[in-house]
Structure 1
Amino acid sequence: MTPADAIARDLLAVGAVSLRPDAPFTWASGRLSPVYTDNRLLLSVPDVRDRVAKAFLGALQALGGHVDAVSGTATAGIPHGALLADRARLPFSYVRGAAKGHGRQNRIEGRVEAGQQVVLVEDLVSTGGSVLSAAEALREAGAEVAAVLAVFSYGFAEADQAFGTAGVPLVTLTDFAALARAAQETGALGPDAWAVLRDWRDDPAAWSVARGGAG
């Protein structure tokens, strides 16, 4: 079993990934999806939380280059980023979705220095828009974004294109392919349901529109 398969099984075991092909979920964007992922649940299971933190540390070390600090996306990337920063003994900050509307009106909370090599931690990547916005905020503060580390990615082509255009490497602990394998091997997903998920994965916008959701 690969590390990605092991993490995928953890996601299923703790209920972080819900598969509902026949009654799709509605994402914040208005898109309909047969999958909903809530990686916050990983934090409630100490053994799983520890494995995810160790996997993030391994991913950080595998980057090879020098990293000065860790940052997390608000809010779901904050705990995973803080756990990684603690294990790596690195400074930690987090990036809000938008600048705070009062006080110093910060978007970045914590200290980020110009020229620092920063790893940005996210729990989930779908289209990549929100985490790449956070990466741009770090760049505007003078930092270099060495990579985005995420627990899980759906692996959409639009996300791959967005990360490529932004020039930001994306490293995930597990992904849709590993999740599909784990779901089939554990019996969490039958052949008919998998066919629905495969169609959705190939064109999530069209799948959503065909069922009355946003594209």
Structure 2
Amino acid sequence: MVEFQTDAEKIAEMALGIGAITLSPEDPYTWASGYRMPIYNDNRKHLSFSKNRSFIAHTLMLPILREVEGFAMQKQYISGTSTSGIAPGYSVAQLVGLPFIFQNKNEVFMINPNDIEFEFSQRDRTFYDAGIYEVDSVSSTCPFAIPFGVHLANRQDLPFSYVRQKSKDHGLEQQIEGVISQGEHVLLVDIAGKDSYADNARQALIYAGAGEVSILSLDSSLYKNVTNSLSNKFLIEKRGELQEYETNTSIIQIEDLVSTGGSTVKEMDRYKELGADVSKCFSIFSFGFPEAEAEFEKRGYTLSPVLDYDTLIKVAKQKGTITDEQFEMLKDWRKDAWNWGEKHGFPKVVKK
């Protein structure tokens, strides 16, 4: 039996083991773009496996701690790309003790994990008495309830998922991100007044197999809109006089998957436009497309995935998930992804 040593190899093994990444070179998937591709990624599945979620958050945390130490004079935030980067980004912020931000409708909202922990600790007795913690998993509406939901799931070592307002129009077209086990008791966390759709989410969870869904409705008072305050002014005494200095806010971006990189760099551009110092993005996985790397590079951004494509297919081969022939097909895809399908008899699907 092969033992995988590096963090990247372990995450690859986890992803293949739970179906968060699937490889099918002989019956490829149709991506939203219409291209036939031999790989499908659904990192949100990791959210429903607490050990995976924790391991990934800790793996992301280590290089980020080194970055944080270098910006001691700046306000520092961890950001998660909306929507799929919010849960892993918040989990990292929870570990390193930094405020978390994300964008919604071009505005930036901040919440502090310490404030959420204080809120829950103040209500622990009430929650226990009401049976709130006697559940099998935690889910949430999105995006504003995700930090509360994943905080509680991390705190209680429970599976997590979140429910979109409606199903996606691409990929697996799913409304629920994560895994719902048949008959389980789910705690649905919702933020009242923030585009609440709790009843719709509850029905979606039941339809997916949940046996019981309890709703925990919280308010949004812990959130702050920081769109216009991403700068840091402070006074320093120099030669007996107080002088004002301004240092940009330092932001580290977290993404779950980088494909072409468009959505990620768009958010990083927005932070830069607002005056923040943002240049580094850490992701769980990246396909390694040259187009994505070029998008980051031309803006002066760096992308650091904890798992890359070459490591993924190497682990898949060692595990016996793919054959030697499939391994060669997957290597070929990496060389020219956009023409791979046509070359192997899988032309692009043109939507009518």
After TM superposition, is the score higher than 0.5? yes
Could you tell me how far 1:149 is from its partner in structure 2? 0.7
Q: Secondary structure at the match of 2:306?
A: strand
Residue matched to 2:274: 141
Measure, in 2, the Cα distance between the counterparts of 1:158 and 1:209. 19
Query: Aligned runs of 1:55-204 on 2, under 5 Å?
Result: 55-63=59-67, 65-66=70-71, 68-96=76-104, 99=105, 106-110=106-110, 111=226, 113-114=230-231, 115-204=248-337
Alpha-carbon contact 1:205-1:214 (below 8 Å) kept: no
Q: Return 5+ residue gaps in structure 2 as ranges.
A: 111-225, 232-247
Alpha-carbon contact 1:123-1:152 (below 8 Å) kept: yes
Q: Secondary structure at the match of 2:294?
A: helix
Alpha-carbon contact 1:154-1:175 (below 8 Å) kept: yes
Q: Secondary structure at the match of 2:87?
A: helix
- Counterpart of 2:15 (choices 11, 14, 18) is 11
- Counterpart of 1:29 (choices 33, 43, 48) is 33
Higher relative contact order (CA 8 A, sep 6+): 1
Alpha-carbon contact 1:71-1:119 (below 8 Å) kept: yes
TM-score (norm 1): 0.90
CA 127–143 in structure 1, closer or farther in 2 if over 3 Å, else same: same
Could you tell me how far 1:214 is from its partner in structure 2? 6.7
Q: Return 5+ residue gaps in structure 1 as ranges.
A: 100-105
Q: Secondary structure at the match of 1:188?
A: coil
Higher normalized helix content (fraction of residues): 1
Q: Please report the RMSD computed on the Cα atoms of aligned residues, expressed in angstroms.
A: 1.8
Residue matched to 1:103: none
Q: Deviations over 1:73-99 (max 9, x none)?
A: 111100001101111111111124xx3
Show structure 1 runs of 4+ deviating over 6 A: none
Alpha-carbon contact 1:208-1:214 (below 8 Å) kept: no
Residue matched to 1:48: 52
Higher normalized strand content (fraction of residues): 2
How high is the sequence identity, in percent, across the aligned residues? 33
Structure ID, larger Rg: 2
Alpha-carbon contact 1:153-1:175 (below 8 Å) kept: yes
Alpha-carbon contact 2:88-2:256 (below 8 Å) kept: yes
Q: Secondary structure at the match of 2:281?
A: strand
Could you tell me how far 1:34 is from its partner in structure 2? 0.3
